[in-house]
Homo-oligomer: A and B are copies of this chain.
């Protein structure tokens, strides 16, 4: 998605350790017009699959999922990372390991909101090691719903997540695929 790649090049910042920060438009400040275009692109890529629900994970996935759901006219469900008072006792759970934070946490979705009749599209902002995505996939499978695809805004193709998901047979589309970040410069996969 050319518009997105241009935006990453213009407004992404590369910080110490070759960390790409896109908090200007994707995961702290949100450019709603850009995310609307992202939603339209996901809708095009995952058309004709009979998607009934978009599943994401708090917090950065929620805006992207919502603006995609607006185009697809389906509800969003977002997995919660913490034991919330507002969450049902009856949940589908999965453990997710975060390599960057060095912790393992549990994500939860109420059993009320995923069922055998659902055809699910998973949406998230980043794909790096793929752990969050595998956790969401586990929840979809445990619920009996059908996972129809995974839509990612920015894939770090030099990490293992994308390969793992494709090897698992998942219908993955990433809108910007980064081949490398070196010396303050970003190269996209051609």
Could you list which residues of chain A lie within 8 angstroms of chain B, going by C-beta atoms? 19, 21, 23-24, 27-33, 35-36, 58-59, 62-63, 66-67, 69-70, 73-78, 80, 85-88, 100-101, 109-110, 112-113
Contact = CB atoms under 8 A, between A and B. Distances in A.
Number of copies: 2
Given A58-B59, A66-B63, A78-B59, A87 B23 contact: yes
A77 B28 contact: yes
B85 A30 contact: no
Residue of A33, A36, A74 contacting most chain B CB atoms (<10 Å) = A33
A66 B78 CA distance: 15
List of 9 A-B pairs having minimum Cβ-Cβ separation, nearest first: A58-B59, A30-B76, A59-B59, A62-B62, A63-B66, A29-B113, A32-B69, A29-B77, A32-B70
Nearest to A28: B110
Main secondary structure of the interface of A (DSSP, over half): mixed
B28 A113 contact: yes
Nearest to A20: B86
Contacts of A85: 19, 100-101
Given A32-B66, A33-B73, 5 more contacts: A28-B86, A30-B66, A59-B59, A62-B62, A66-B67
B67 A29 contact: no
A85 B19 CA distance: 10
